[in-house]
Amino acid sequence: MTSGSDARDALALDDAPSEIRAAAMLRETGSMSFDAGVEAALVAAAAEMRVARSEVVRLAVREWLAARQRGSGC
């Protein structure tokens, strides 16, 4: 949801599948912290890919959502 969203957007999100709600919540957070091992892997992947750490998280979530969708037969 964006800062300009209204109550209808919030209601629509409440009815969305759990993975969509999770992705929306991740998108709204300014930062996400992980345990030391995951954090190190994210930083290493970001350096190797020459992108920001947040982009690696975004790509991972997008791939996870796509895999879940393929697995559910949607």
State residue 37 phi and psi, 5-degree precision: -65, -45
Domain that holds residue 19: 7-72
Calpha distance 12→69 (Å, rounded) = 19
Considering its fold, how many domains does the chain have in total?
1
Mean pLDDT of 26-30: 63
User: What are residue 3's phi and psi, to 5 degrees?
Assistant: -65, -20
Transcribe 19-60 into DSSP letters: HHHHHHHHHH-S-----HHHHHHHHHHHHHHTS-HHHHHHHH
Residue 1 lies inside a defined structural domain of this protein: no
Structure tokens at 61: 């979530």
pTM for the structure as a whole: 0.57
Per residue in 39-64, pLDDT (tens digit) is 999 999 999 999 999 899 889 988 98
Query: Is residue 2 in some structural domain?
Result: no
- Segment among 2-6, 9-13, 20-24, 70-74 with least mean pLDDT: 2-6
